[in-house]
Structure 1
Amino acid sequence: MATAGGPTVRRRQLGSELRRLREHAGMRIEDVATHLECSMSKISRVETGQAPIKARDVRDLLQWYGVSDPVRIETVMQIHKDAQQQGWWTHYAEVLPSGMATYAGLEADARVLRSYEPTFVHGLLQTEEYARAVIAAVRPNEPQEVDQLVRFRKERQALLTRDPDPLELWVVIEESALRRPVGGREVMVAQLEHLIEATRLPNVTIQVMPTSKGAHAALAGTFSLLEFEPRTPTVVYVNSIAGNVYLEKERDVRTFIQTFDLVRAAAPDPHDTSVTLERIAREMHAS
């Protein structure tokens, strides 16, 4: 059983282990819900790492599932203890959209992040001014929260320069997103220049999908693939106005991996990106 990672990954590991032990013991989710006197949805969320569980309930379940090995019990309880730690993102819990705290935890624990962005520049690559314009546009009725959300986004960006193991980021961005003057032309030109600088980072790869390319495999919308240390399953994150979806089933993950591979194969070579960004910036500045 893997034990590496921060609190979000640890919570997922705990849930996965509890699910494995339940299934090995021949128990159903409804059996566990009855035993702990809670809802089946609560057990489901615990087993998928989306909800906390008390230490005494973990010990109770281990005993109920027939786990008697003291080393195994101690390992599981240590994972539970580590999962209770508070990540830096919890300071923004009151203003974050539903599910964003979970995503921030996964992103912080990830080793590799691959993303397709049809509408905006990826959050880890946004300038402060661009981020402010985007957040203010999508949350027009909550101006008092914009500053906090901009700070939250800036803190996330530290992942790209963390020492000694920066996040490896590969993003495919639609050209149309880069031509939309979010915040005005000056803000957008500065954002394009920031992207040019980002292409020089050894752990960042950016591709621009030309509008002239037409239809391609990812037209259904934005998604991200988060990869962790070995033995920790990859997670697919799909974000939409309707809500956030996390996919972990092997079949779903494999589909999105194949989709991303098709998209990056269809986009121009990453070595051409800086030239493309410079051209768009010149055209926007001149218009």
Structure 2
Amino acid sequence: MAADPKAPSILGFPHRPEWGPAAHRKALAGHLRRCRDHAGIGARQAARCIHASEASISRIETGRTALKPAEVERLLDTYGISDPLERARIADLVREAAKPEAWQPYANAAPLDLRPLLGMEPAARRIISYEPQLVPGWLQTEEYAEIVIRAVHPTKPAGEIAERVALRMQRIEMLRRAVSPPILLAVMDSEVFRRRVGTPGVMYRQIKHLIALLEELPYRLNLQIAPLTVGAAGAIGHPIVHLRFFTPEYLPDMVYLEQYEGALYREKPSESERYQAILNNLCGVANPAEQTPALLEQALAAWR
């Protein structure tokens, strides 16, 4: 029997280990939901075929739970997915989704509300970040990060602080990888360089680190500094991170909104587009990236 030309296909989503397990799990989760909808099968019927609850199907279809190979096979049978290429790609994605995530070696120190961002950022094609108070986490030095983390968590034991610092330090590595690294567009307020974190030496070394990163990653890191004169455009009081992926048809844009205690995520197109517009406006009124090295040198002079 000929394949249904209108059936959803996962072949457009590649098997890319460097993107991380969360991206593979999320892409496959959405595909399974589309396959169920295309087959006209309700969540209750799908749940019965794997001896689970409707809530379990919901968690599977939103990528919030691990995908067991046997359960996926039964779901594919139920949805009438017989194409060997489709099933082979799905099997690859299931295996990739089961691998440990980058934050798991630091699981005791990885905040629950940060894990979705940590899991998905390696799959991003482009990351836009706005930080009004501090140097963005990807770009912090170890000593700067330790002071910031300890200030937010003054009662945490030294071992957990060290784990949180180590987790933060490894995030920059995705920009250094040889295969499909993300591009990071970071905007931060000029006041970040006047707000003392630790000693003047800590600030001096942090700014030197930013200069070195711009030299090391000229095509992967774009850093802009927003002066106070941007006015209302820079009056956002919390960090924003907007992720755009290589395969938007499988992975919609994700927005991370950091709060003092917790975080919010936005993935509806109308919401992600609104935050994209806010960040585009900030990029437009901030000092151009070409001026950043000179501005950093000026900031450096203040901490000598």
Task: Determine if the TM-score, normalized by the shorter chain, exceeds 0.5.
Answer: yes
Distance 1:31 1:61, change over 3 A: same
1:117-171 Cα shifts (integer Å, max 9, x gaps): 1122111110111011111111212122011111111221222222254431110
Q: Which stretch of structure 1 is more off in the superposition, 100-109 or 259-268?
A: 100-109
| Other-structure match for 2:139 | 125
Contact 1:90 1:101 in 2 (8 A): no
**Residue 215 (str. 1) matches residue 226 (str. 2):** no
**Residues 1:272 and 1:24: Cα distance change in structure 2 (over 3 Å):** same
Helix, strand or coil for the counterpart of 1:278? helix
Query: C-alpha deviations, 1:160-189, integer Å up to 9, x for none?
Result: 222254431110001222221112322112
User: Residue 111 of structure 1: SS of its match in structure 2?
Assistant: strand
- Indicate the larger mover: 140-149 or 217-226: 217-226
Q: State how far apart, in whole Å, the 1-side matches of 2:228 and 2:55 are.
A: 43
- Structure 1 unaligned residues grouped into runs of 5+: none
Which residue of structure 1 aligns with residue 129 of structure 2? 115
The CA RMSD over aligned residues, in Å, is 2.3
Q: Is the 8 A contact 2:256 2:263 kept in 1?
A: yes
Distance in 1 of aligned mates of 2:275 and 2:51: 37
Give the letter aligned to residue 15 of structure 2.
A
The residue matched to 2:209 in structure 1 has which SS?
helix
> If the length of structure 1 is used for normalisation, what is the TM-score?
0.89
Matched, 1:241 2:260: yes
C-alpha contact (below 8 Å) 1:110/1:227 kept by paired residues: yes
**Equivalent AA in structure 2 for residue 257 of structure 1:** Q
- Per the alignment, residue 227 of structure 1 pairs with 244
Unaligned runs of 5+ residues in structure 2 are 1-9
Q: Take 2:255 and 2:235, find their aligned partners in 1: how far apart are those partners?
A: 14
Moved over 6 A (4+): none
Query: What is the CA deviation profile of residues 6-60 of structure 1, one whole-angstrom value per residue up to 9, with x for unaligned ones?
Result: 3111101110111111222334445545654545444333222232122222122
Is residue 2:218 matched to residue 1:205?
no
Compare 25-34 and 242-251 and name the one that shifted more: 25-34
**Among 177, 183, 186, the residue aligned to 2:198:** 183
Aligned counterparts, 1:155-170, within 5 A: 155-170=170-185
Q: Distance in 2 between matches of 1:83 and 1:212?
A: 46
Q: Which residue pairs with 1:277 in the alignment?
A: 296
**Greater CA drift, 98-107 or 113-122:** 98-107
- The aligned counterpart of 1:50 is 64
Per mean C-alpha deviation after superposition, the further-off stretch among 124-133 and 72-81 is 72-81
> What is the aligned counterpart of 1:26 among 26, 34, 40?
40
Range moving further from structure 2, 148-157 or 72-81: 72-81
Contact 2:226 2:234 in 1 (8 A): no
Question: How many Å separate the matches in 1 of 2:37 and 2:88?
Answer: 20
* 1:39/1:136 CA distance change after superposition, 3 Å: farther
Q: 1:138 and 1:237 mapped to 2: Cα distance?
A: 19
Supply the AA of the counterpart residue of 2:188: I
Equivalent pairs counted in the alignment come to: 285
Larger deviation: 161-170 or 121-130?
A: 161-170
Secondary structure of the residue aligned to 1:199 is: helix
Aligned partner of 1:250 among 269, 277, 294: 269
In structure 2, C-alpha distance between the alignment counterparts of 1:103 and 1:71, rounded to whole Å: 31
> Which of these residues, 21, 31, 35, is aligned with residue 7 of structure 1?
21
User: Which of 87, 112, 124 is residue 73 of structure 1 equivalent to?
Assistant: 87
CA distance, structure 2, for counterparts of residue 99 and residue 88 of structure 1: 15
Q: Which among 122, 135, 154 is matched to residue 169 of structure 2? A: 154
2:231 alignment partner AA: G
When residues 78 and 163 of structure 1 are mapped into structure 2, their CA distance, relative to the original with a 3 A threshold, is closer
**Percent identity over paired residues:** 33
SS in 2 for 1:214: helix
